[in-house]
Structure 1
Amino acid sequence: MNPASRSARLLVIGLDGATYDLLVPWAESGRMPNLARLMATSARAVVNSTRPYITPVAWTTFQTGCDPHEHGILDYRYLDHRHRRVLLNHAGRIGRPTLFDAVSAAGGEVVSLNLPMTFPAPSSVRGIVVGGLDSPSIDAALAPYPEFARELRATGARFDLGTVWRNKPRTFEELSQGIDETASIFRGQATAAAVADRMTDWQLMFVQLQVLDSLQHRCWQWLDPRQGSTAELWMSKAQQALRALDDCLGELMELAARRNAAVVAVSDHGFGPFRGKITLAEILSRAGLLCWPRGGPAASYYLRHGVWRLRKFLYRRFNPGWSTAQLTRPLGTLLPIDWRRSTALALHGNLGGLIYLNTRERFASGPLKTAGQRERALADVIQAFETAAHPQTGEPLFVEVFGTAERYGIDPVEKLWPDVVAIPAAGFHTRHKFDARPQLLRTDPGMAATHRLEGVLLLHAPRVAAGAYRPAELRDVAPTLLQMLGLRVPAHMSGQALADLLSGGARRTSPEPRAEPRELQLAGITDADQRSVEARLRDLGYLD
Structure 2
Amino acid sequence: GLDGASWRVLEPAVRQGHMPYLASLVDAGCSGVLTSTTPPKTPAAWSSFQTGKNPGKTGVYDFERWNRKTRTSDYVSSESLGVTLWDCLGQAGKRIAVINVPMTYPARPVSGVLITGLLTPNLNSRFIYPPDLREALLEHVPDYHIFNLRNTARTGSARRIHPFVTRLQEIVDSRARAAAFVFQREQADVAMVHFQATDVLQHAFWPMLCPDHERYDPETHELLCAAFYGFLDERLRRVCQAFVQGRADPVLTLVVSDHGFQTHHQRVRLGKWLVQKGYLSIRAGARPLPWLRRRLRRLDGSVARRFFERTAVGRRLDRFRRRPTFRMDFDHSRVFSFGRGCDGYLFFLEDDPAARQATQEQIRKDLMGLVDSRTGRPVVQEICPREAIYSGPRLADLPDWILRPAEGYSFTGNYEDGVRGLFAAVRFGRDFHAGMHHPEGVLIAAGPGVRCGRVEDARLWDVAPTVLAWLGLPVPEDMDGRVLQGLFTQPLTVQTARPEAPAVPTESSDTATYSPADVQDIEQRLRDLGYIE
TM-score by length of 2: 0.84
Of 235-244 and 463-472, the range deviating more from structure 2: 235-244
Tell me the residue number matched to 1:116: 102
TM-aligned CA deviation for residue 27 of structure 1? 0.4
Structure 2 match to 1:264: 254
Q: What's 1:290 paired with?
A: 280
1:411–1:517 CA distance, 2 compared to 1 (3 A):
closer
Secondary structure of 2:242's counterpart equals helix
Match 1:522 to one of 507, 510, 524: 510
- Secondary structure of the corresponding residue to residue 277 of structure 1: strand
Which residue of the partner structure matches residue 9 of structure 1?
A: none
CA 1:334–1:344: 2 relative to 1, 3 Å: farther
Match of 1:428 among 400, 409, 421: 409
Could you tell me which amino acid in structure 2 is paired with residue 403 of structure 1? Answer: P
Residue equivalent to 1:159: 144
**1:386 lines up with 2:343 in the alignment:** no
Q: Is the 8 A contact 2:25 2:446 kept in 1?
A: yes
SS of residue matched to 2:118 = coil
| Among 25, 40, 47, the residue aligned to 1:38 | 25
In the TM superposition, 1:448-527 aligns within 5 A as 448-504=434-490, 507-515=492-500, 516-520=502-506, 521-523=509-511, 524-527=513-516
CA deviation profile, 1:208-264 (whole Å, cap 9, x unmatched): 011110011002233345658447368526630112101111112323442342110
The 3-state SS of whatever aligns with 2:178 is: helix
Distance 2:153 2:117 in 1: 17
Moved more, 215-224 or 38-47: 215-224
State the Cα distance separating 1:153 from its structure 2 match: 2.7
User: Shift of residue 152 of structure 1?
Assistant: 2.8
Q: Is the 8 A contact 2:275 2:281 kept in 1?
A: yes
Query: CA separation of 1:334/1:267 partners in 2, compared to 1, >3 Å: closer, same or farther?
Result: farther
The 5-angstrom pairing of residues 399-410 of structure 1 reads 399-405=381-387, 408=390
Letter aligned with residue 19 of structure 2? M
Preserved contact between residue 267 and residue 409 of structure 2 (Cα < 8 Å): yes
2:342 matched residue in structure 1: 351
Which residue is equivalent to 1:85?
A: 72
Q: Tell me the alpha carbon deviations over residues 13-70 of structure 1, each in whole angstroms, 9 at most, x when there is no partner.
A: x010011111111001012111111111121121110000000000001001111112
Cα distance in 2 for residues equivalent to 1:347 and 1:404: 16
Report how far residue 119 of structure 1 moved: 0.2
Give how far 1:340 is off.
4.2
> Relative to structure 1, is the Cα distance of residues 253 and 169 closer, same or farther in structure 2, using a 3 angstrom cutoff?
same
| TM-superposed deviation, 1:537 | 0.8
- Secondary structure of 2:66 counterpart: strand
Indicate conservation of the 8 Å contact 2:107/2:128, yes or no.
Answer: no
CA spacing shift, 1:202–1:334, aligned 2, 3 Å:
farther
Please, which of 511, 525, 528 is the counterpart of residue 536 of structure 1? 525
The answer to whether structure 1 residue 195 and structure 2 residue 181 are counterparts is yes
CA contact (8 A) 2:99 2:117 kept: yes
**Whole-angstrom CA distance in 1 between matches of 2:333 and 2:140:** 57
1:282 match: secondary structure:
helix
The 8 Å contact of residues 31 and 455 in structure 2, kept in 1 or not, is answered as yes
Q: 1:335 to 1:425 in 2, by over 3 A?
A: farther
The one-character-per-residue Cα deviations of 1:155-184 (angstroms, maximum 9, x if unpaired) are: 346321233366224352x32111111112
Structure 2 match to 1:27? 14
The residue aligned with 1:182 is 168
1:17 and 2:4 correspond? yes
Cα displacement (A) at 1:334: 11
Corresponding residue SS for 1:470: coil
**RMSD in angstroms over aligned alpha carbons?**
2.7
**C-alpha distance after superposition, 1:187-208 (max 9, x if no partner):** 2222111111111121111100
Q: Indicate whether 1:372 and 2:354 are aligned.
A: yes
Residue 296 of structure 2: aligned partner? none
- Cα distance in structure 2, aligned partners of 1:409 and 1:16: 26
Change (3 A) 1:225 1:33: farther
From the superposition, tell whether residues 396 and 239 of structure 1 become closer, same or farther in structure 2 (CA, over 3 Å).
farther
Closer, same or farther: CA 454–240 of 1 in aligned 2, 3 Å: same
The residue that corresponds to 1:308 in the other structure is none
Mapped partners of 1:225, 1:160: distance in 2: 34
- Contact kept? 1:292, 1:336, Cα under 8 Å: yes
- Quote how far apart the aligned CAs of 1:477 are: 1.2
Alignment check: 8 A CA contact 2:141 2:177 kept: no
CA distance in 1, matches of 2:71, 2:278: 23
- Say if 1:427 and 1:235 are closer, same or farther in 2 by CA, change over 3 A: same
TM-score, with structure 1 as normaliser: 0.82
In the alignment, which of 58, 70, 87 is matched to residue 71 of structure 1?
58
Question: How do 1:292-371 residues align onto structure 2 when only pairs under 5 Å count?
Answer: 292-293=282-283, 298-300=284-286, 336-358=327-349, 368-371=350-353
Deviation (angstroms), 1:90? 0.7
- Tell me the CA shift for residue 426 of structure 1: 2.9
| Structure 2 runs not aligned, ≥5 long | 290-323
3-state DSSP of counterpart to 2:176: helix
Unaligned runs of 5+ in 1: 1-13, 304-332, 359-367
Identify if the C-alpha distance between structure 1 residues 302 and 375 changes in structure 2 by more than 3 Å, giving closer, same or farther. Answer: farther
For 2:147, the aligned partner's letter is G
Change (3 A) 1:233 1:403: closer
Q: Distance in 1 between matches of 2:29 and 2:91?
A: 29
Query: Secondary structure at 1:209's aligned position in 2?
Result: coil
2:220 and 2:436 map into 1 onto residues whose CA distance is 24
Aligned counterparts of 1:34 and 1:225: Cα–Cα separation in 2: 24
* Per-residue CA distance 1:509-537 (angstroms, 9 max, x = gap): 21112453143313222121122112211
In 1, distance between residues paired with 2:483 and 2:73? 36
CA-CA distance at 1:392 after TM superposition: 2.2
Mapped partners of 1:224, 1:239: distance in 2? 16
Shift of 1:273: 1.4
In the alignment, what sits opposite 1:210? 196
1:407 Cα shift?
Answer: 5.3
Q: Distance in 1 between matches of 2:392 and 2:497?
A: 25
Deviation at 1:79, TM superposition (A): 1.6
SS in 1 for 2:456: strand
Q: Which of 211-220 and 53-62 deviates more?
A: 211-220
The amino acid that maps onto 1:278 is: V
Kindly provide the amino acid, as one letter, of the partner of residue 510 in structure 2.
L
Secondary structure in structure 2 of the residue aligned to 1:492:
coil
